[in-house]
Structure 1
C-alpha cells in the first residue's frame, strides 16, 4: 500500500518538487520513497511505499521495465499476481524477475498485454500511473470497485495527479479554488461523488476506468471503462438461477478464496471485527485457513445504543481469535475531530469516520494489514432501504400523483411543527421515536416522481443544497439520469446497483482508505473481489431478501462457521452519538464554526437555514445532526484549506 503523485509541467521538471509532494503522503508510505523525472518530456513521478510484499529494494518505485520503455508508480495490491506471473511465463517465455513484488508483476503485465488487457486480468485494489516513453503517453487507472483513490486535473499550466489532494496542493502551481457545484453535491450526499472533487479543475478517476494523457498534460482523453458494472448487473439478473444449497456452496468457495488471497503478506495481518454478519464471515474464513489464532480488533463505546463490542467479543471467543478491544470515552473519540480535515483531505461527513479511524489506530499497534467486511450490504441486500424501501414506494406510487403531492405537502408542513413535543403527551406505548424526521421522510416518499427519485431522497441529507450553497448549481449525477440506469427488474435491484456505484466507493471505501492510511495500515476488502460482485448479481433476489430480511444467502454461509443464535439481532450502524455531543461537549466548537457573521463573511452558505437548524437541534425540537455535521465538516476543512 502506497501513495503516488506526478506532474507534467513542461521542460526540466524539478525532482525536489515531486519529492516534496510525495512527502505529504508519508503516512501512506512510511517505509521508502522515490522520485524520477523525464526532462525531455517534462514529467515527474514520485512514490511513497508501505512495504507489504517483498520488503527488499526489489520493490522500490518508480519502477522501470527491463526494456526501459515503461515507468510505473503504483498503489495497492494485486492478489492474483503469482498466477499472472505463471501466465506471463507461459505466454512470453523466460522473465528475469528481480524480486517477488506484485509491482514487478503488474509492470510486466502492462508491457505484455497493454493497459486494457492487463486491467481485465487483475484481481486487486489499485491506482497506478504508467509512463510510456515511446508513445509519450501517461496512463492512469483505478481498480474496479474504487478501493484506491486517484485525483487528476490541471491547476494553472500544470497537469497534476496523486493519491490525495494534500499532495497536489504542495505543487507551486496549485490554485485550490472551491467548486461550489461540487459543494452542493457534498451537502446532498455527505461526500463529494466521483468524478467531482471539491476543487475546480480536479477530478476523481471513476472506478473501473483508465485514462490516457498526452501533450504535456493538455490532451486528456475520455476515461475508458474496462469493467462495466451496469452490463454485469443486467447480464447477472438475466442469468440468475440455481438451487440455494448449490449457490451457498459456490459462495462459500468464492469467499474462502477471496479471503485466502488477501491473507498473503510478508508482515503481520488481522481483521476488523464488529460482530456483524460481514466482518464475522471474513474473520471466520480467515481463522478457518490459519494455523494460529487470527488477530481481530473492535472498538466499543459506553453508550449502549452505539456499542457492538460485546457482540464482537462473543464472536471472537467462539472463533478462537486473538481479540483486542478498546472502549473509547467520549473525550477520546472527540479528540479525533480536529484531525478529520487532514485525514479525509476534502469535505467528508459520514460520522462513522471517527470509529473507523479509532479501530484502524488500534489495529496498527499490532498488525500492518487488516481485512475489512465492507461490501456485504451492497452486494446482498443488507441496508434498511433495500428491505423496506421498495414496499414503501409501491404503496406511495399507487396513489394518483396529484393526491400524493398534496399529501406530501401536508406531511411536510406537519413535520415542520413541534410534533416531537406534542408526541410527549401521548402514552409511552403510542409514541413514535423521532417522529418529526420520520414524517419528513414520508413526505419525501410521497413527493418523489419515480423510484430513482425516491432512492435519491432516501440517501440525501440536504434536499435542496443549491438553495443553501451560494452561487451553486447542483450537477446531474447517476441519481438524476434515468437513461444511464441498466435494465433491472425492480427497485430493490436498482438500489443495490446505485449503492455499488455511488455510496460504496465514494463514502464507505473512501472512509476506510483514508482512516487506515492515516495510520499506515493497509485495509483489504475481500467481499469486493470482482468475482464475488459478479456472482452476487447472478444470485436471484429472493435468495438475498427473504422473510423480510436481507443477506439471506450470505447468512446461510456464515451459519456454517458460527451458530445462528450468536448472530441474529437487529442491525446496528458503526456510529458515534454526534446528536448528543452537539448539544453537549461539542456545542461551543460547533457554535464557533456556525457563527452567523462567519458564515456570511466566508460566503459559501446562506446562514439563515443553518442557524434555524442549529437552534432547533440544540433546543431538542428536531434532530438535525446529520445536516449540521455536513456544514461543520466543511467549515473545519475550510479552516485547514483556506479558499482561494
Structure 2
C-alpha cells in the first residue's frame, strides 16, 4: 500500500520542478512512511511513498522495465502476480525483482491497455511509456484504491492518490484552482460524499473504478475508458447447498490470496457476519493464530464486542480490544483534513480508531467490507423490495398524485413506532424505483435540500439534482443486465455509489492515516461476478438478508453471530448534539463560515438546530453533514488560502 503522485506535461517537454514534485510526494507521507522516491525527466515527474509489504528488499518505486523506457508508480496489490510472472517470462520479459509492481510494466509491454483485465486485486497506478509518449492511469474494478487527477490551464496534468497531493502543487505560475463545484456540493448533502467522477473542486476529478485513462502527449485529454462492469444475470441454476459449498471455496481462495505478506498480518473483527466469516476462513488457512482487532464502545447500544469475542474465542485468535468512549468526538477537524473534501459518514471515527489499534500490532489487516452489497445484507434492501411489491400493484400515473399528496400531508414521526412512520413509505410509493431508492439513502432528501439551499446556490446548480448520479448508473445496469429484478438494481447502484464513495473512501483514508494496509476479500471481482449470477432467493428470503453467506458459515460461526440483528458501526450523534456538542453544533451551523458562502437558508439552519436540540426531531445526520462541511471549509479551503490563486467568485465561499 502506498501513495502515488505526479506531473505530466500534455503539450510539450517543459521542465518539471523537482521541489514541487517532492512537496506533492511528501504530502502523502502517511501513505508510505518506509521509503519515498521521485523520478523526473523532460515533461514528466513521478512520486512514490512506500509502505513495504511484498518484496521489501527490491520492490522500490518508481520501477522501470529492462531498458528504462517504461516506468510505473503503483498503489495497491496485484494478488495474482505470482501466476502472471511465468506467463510474462515465457513471453521474453526479464524480471529483476519479486514484486507485483514489476508485473505491471511487463504486462503493459505484453498486452498494452488490456493489461488491467489480467490483474486481480486493488490498484491505482500511473505508467509512462516513453516510446509511445503515453501516460496511462488505471484504477481497480471496485474502486478500493483512489486516484485523482486535474488538467491545469497551462496543459500540465496532476495526479495523486489523495487530493492533498494536487493541492500541494504550486510553482509560481499557479496551480489547482480552489473554486468549489456546486454540483459536487449538491451530491454531498444528498449522499454524504461527492460521487465519482467529481471532486469538490471544479478542476479536479476522480478516475472512476474499472476505468483507465490513456493520455498521449500533444493530443487532447480523452475521456476515461471502462474495462469492466458487473452484470447481474440471476440465471445460475445452482441450489442452496451447492452454492454454499462453492462460496466456501471461493472465499477461501480470495482470503488465501490476501494473506500473502512479508509483514505482520491480521484482521478486523467487529462481531458482524462479514468480518467473522473472513476471520473464520483465515483461521482455517493459517498455521498460527490470527491477529484480530476490535473496538468496543462504553455505550451498550453501540457495542458489539461480545460477539467479536465469541469468534475470537472459537478460533483462539490473538485478540486485541480497545474501548472507545461514547464522547469520542475529538476527530472532527482531523477527519476534515484526512478526506480533503466534505465527507459525512460518522462511522469514520470508530474506523479511524480501529485502524489506529490494528497498526500497533500489524501492517496488513483483512476486513469484511463489501459483503452487504454483494450478499444483500442491508435492511434497506428488504424495505425496498416490500415497497416494490406495492409499487407493482399500481401504475405510476395513479401512485404519483395519490401517494404524493399523502407523503406531503402525513406528519414526520421519528419518535413513533416504525409501523406509524408512514410518511417515508408514502413518499416512496409516489416515485419510480430509482427515485425511491435514492430518496431512502439520502441524508437530506430532496425537499430538505430545497429548503437548505439559498436562491443564489440553486441558481448555481442550474436544475442539477444528485438523483442524476443514480439515474446514470441505473441506465447502465439496464443495458448490461437485461433483468428488471429490483434487488439487482439496488445492489448495482450501491456497488457504483455507496461502496465506492462512502465505504472504500472511509477505509482507505482512515487506514492510510495510520500507514495500515486493508484488504477486502469480499470485493474479489471473480467472487462479485459469481454472486451477480445468483437468483434473489439465495440472497434474501423473507426478513432474512445475506442468506447464502449465513448458510455457508453455519458450520464455522455461532448462530448468535449469524442471526442477530445488524447493528452497524455507529456513534451517538443524536445525544452528542443535544449534550456535549450542543454549542459546537450551534456555532458551526449558525456561525460566520457557513453564512459567508451565501449558499444556505439561515432560517432553515436555525430550524434544524432548534428542532433537534429541543427534542422534537432527530436531525443528527443533516447536522453532522453541515458540521463536517463547515470543518472542511475551515481546515481545507481556508487552511490553504495563502497558497491559492485567484478563483471564480461565483462558486467560492466568501
- Which TM bucket (shorter chain)? over 0.9
Are residues 1:485 and 2:477 paired? Answer: yes
Contact 1:396 1:404 in 2 (8 A): no
Contact 2:273 2:561 in 1 (8 A): no
Are residues 1:32 and 2:30 paired? Answer: no
In structure 2, the CA distance between the partners of 1:152 and 1:466, relative to structure 1 (3 Å rule), is farther
In structure 2, the CA distance between the partners of 1:325 and 1:31, relative to structure 1 (3 Å rule), is same
In structure 2, the CA distance between the partners of 1:403 and 1:103, relative to structure 1 (3 Å rule), is closer
C-alpha distance in 2, partners of 1:125/1:21?
A: 23
Choose from 400, 407, 425 the match for 1:442.
425
Q: Name 2:86's counterpart in structure 1.
A: 86
Q: Name 2:7's counterpart in structure 1.
A: 7
Deviates more, 1:597-606 or 1:518-527: 597-606
1:397, CA displacement in angstroms?
5.0
1:519, CA displacement in angstroms?
0.5
Q: Name 2:100's counterpart in structure 1.
A: 102
C-alpha distance in 1, partners of 2:86/2:600?
A: 57
User: Which ranges of structure 2 fall in alignment gaps of 5 or more residues?
Assistant: 639-646, 648-654
**1:69-218 aligned within 5 A:** 69-90=69-90, 92-93=91-92, 95-116=93-114, 118-157=115-154, 158-172=156-170, 173-215=175-217
1:632, CA displacement in angstroms?
1.2
Q: Name 2:440's counterpart in structure 1.
A: 458
1:160, CA displacement in angstroms?
1.0
Q: Secondary structure at the match of 2:183?
A: helix
Contact 2:296 2:322 in 1 (8 A): yes
User: Which ranges of structure 1 fall in alignment gaps of 5 or more residues?
Assistant: 424-430
Contact 1:393 1:454 in 2 (8 A): no
Contact 1:596 1:611 in 2 (8 A): no
Contact 2:337 2:636 in 1 (8 A): no
Q: Name 1:535's counterpart in structure 2.
A: 530
1:585, CA displacement in angstroms?
1.0
C-alpha distance in 2, partners of 1:462/1:388?
A: 19
C-alpha distance in 2, partners of 1:579/1:309?
A: 22
1:446, CA displacement in angstroms?
2.7
CA deviation string 1:129-152 (max 9, x = no partner):
011111211111000000000011
Q: Name 1:383's counterpart in structure 2.
A: 378
1:597, CA displacement in angstroms?
4.6
Choose from 246, 250, 254 the match for 1:254.
250
**1:239-638 aligned within 5 A:** 239-331=235-327, 333-399=328-394, 401-402=397-398, 404-416=400-412, 432=417, 438-448=421-431, 450-464=432-446, 465=449, 468-469=452-453, 470=457, 471-473=460-462, 474=464, 477-481=468-472, 482-486=474-478, 487-595=482-590, 597-638=592-633
In structure 2, the CA distance between the partners of 1:250 and 1:115, relative to structure 1 (3 Å rule), is same
C-alpha distance in 2, partners of 1:405/1:324?
A: 55
CA deviation string 1:344-378 (max 9, x = no partner):
11111011111111100000000000000011111
Q: Secondary structure at the match of 2:238?
A: coil
1:338, CA displacement in angstroms?
2.2
C-alpha distance in 2, partners of 1:377/1:433?
A: 23
RMSD: 1.9
CA deviation string 1:591-624 (max 9, x = no partner):
1111255432222322222221111111111011
Contact 1:6 1:43 in 2 (8 A): yes
Q: Secondary structure at the match of 1:600?
A: helix
TM-score, normalising length: structure 2: 0.91
